[in-house]
């Protein structure tokens, strides 16, 4: 996404609640061998759902948030703002033993900020795009940089015309 805006409708990847749950559980399976972890840090807001699923699956009770804002106007990525960091007692030793969970690493802006704050933590995402991929230790699915992912919390049930009608 050269201009950091939503691409045309030909490059979209809608994810249902069921698919996201399956992918988040698959992430937990991969992470189970990488642990044990002393706590999970969910990157808000998108990382909250997979962080809760992974915490449940791995039996982790300490769940913290790293609050950032990078998307403004929903589809336009702007300047990164760190709204809340991790509690100092969890951030000690650079976050050693912590698991950072996010829904997606896109350009890597958010991932870089979180990894700089917690350099010894394990960073995991459900989805990864090529620009941010080198920051991630564990992920499930790689998607192209010019694909826009619609997460289940972004969607509503609505009529969609058949493909043949759209392409005319």
Catalytically annotated residues: 102-103, 106
- Do strands 98-105 and 63-72 pair parallel, antiparallel, or not at all (unpaired)? unpaired
d(CA 127, CA 27): 10
User: For the range 71-74, what are the long-range contacts, defined as Cβ-Cβ under 8 Å and sequence gap of 24 or more?
Assistant: none
Is the distance from CB of 69 to CB of 81 less than 8 angstroms? yes
């Amino acid at each position: 996404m050269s201009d950091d805006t939503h691409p045309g409708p030909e490059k979209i990847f809608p994810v249902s609640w069921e698919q996201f749950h399956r992918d988040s559980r698959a992430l937990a399976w991969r992470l189970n061998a990488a642990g044990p972890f002393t706590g999970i840090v969910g990157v808000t807001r998108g990382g909250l759902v997979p962080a809760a699923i992974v915490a449940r699956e791995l039996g982790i009770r300490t769940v913290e948030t790293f609050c950032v804002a990078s998307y403004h106007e929903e589809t336009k990525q702007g300047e990164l703002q760190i709204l809340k960091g991790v509690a100092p007692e969890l951030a000690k030793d650079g976050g050693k033993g912590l698991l950072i969970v996010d829904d997606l690493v896109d350009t890597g802006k958010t991932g870089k900020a979180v990894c700089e704050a917690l350099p010894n933590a394990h960073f995991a995402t459900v989805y990864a795009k090529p620009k941010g991929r080198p920051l991630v230790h564990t992920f499930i699915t790689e998607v192209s940089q010019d694909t826009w992912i619609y997460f289940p919390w972004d969607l509503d049930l609505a009529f969609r015309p058949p493909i043949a009608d759209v392409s005319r």
